[in-house]
């Protein structure tokens, strides 16, 4: 690999790391709580939708899908910017059996740089049926 290509790889890697740090900020419970408080809530059959703007930056748009009966988030989409480029962040949630809703996947897209990062979480995957003691 030549020095020019190595430098470009280092730049892209640095950009990805910075965008992922930004994505983590959007996924924080405190930020989501603040966005819900200042957002508009729409009710549909068995689902709620929360829309908020200016979550972290003035250009931000957030749409959250919430399971109506449980009031647990199922998906959150953010549209924001990083260094003048548009960034889309999608976060999917699943409810643990009889428990809380956990983030299972995050997809971060930076179209201008042609970057897509998928983060899949397996820490809370159900491996078997109910356990009896």
Q: How far apart are CA 97 and CA 94, in angstroms?
A: 9
| Residue 110 belongs to some domain of the structure | yes
Q: Supply the pLDDT for residue 1.
A: 58
Q: Which residue has the higher pLDDT, 91 or 1?
A: 91
Task: Locate 128 and state its tokens.
Answer: 């078997």
Binning pLDDT at 50, 70 and 90, where does residue 124 land?
low
Please report, for the chain, how many H helices and E strands are present, in that order: 2, 7
| Residue 127 belongs to some domain of the structure | no
Could you tell me the residue range of the domain that residue 73 belongs to?
3-120
Give the model confidence (pLDDT) of 32-60 as tens digits. Answer: 899 999 999 999 999 999 999 999 999 99
- Domains of the chain: total: 1
Q: Supply the pLDDT for residue 53.
A: 94
| Residue 9 belongs to some domain of the structure | yes
């Amino acid at each position: 690999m030549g020095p020019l290509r190595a430098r470009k790889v280092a730049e892209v890697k640095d950009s990805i790391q910075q965008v992922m740090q930004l994505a983590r900020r959007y996924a924080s419970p405190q930020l989501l709580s603040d966005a819900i408080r200042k957002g508009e809530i729409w009710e549909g059959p068995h689902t709620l939708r929360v829309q908020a703007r200016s979550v972290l930056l003035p250009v931000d748009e957030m749409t959250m899908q919430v399971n109506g009966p449980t009031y647990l988030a199922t998906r959150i989409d953010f549209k924001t910017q990083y260094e003048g480029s548009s960034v889309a962040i999608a976060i999917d949630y699943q409810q643990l059996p009889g428990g809380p809703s956990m983030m299972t996947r995050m997809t971060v897209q930076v179209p201008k740089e042609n970057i897509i990062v998928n983060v899949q979480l397996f820490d809370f995957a159900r491996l078997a049926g109910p356990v009896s003691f």
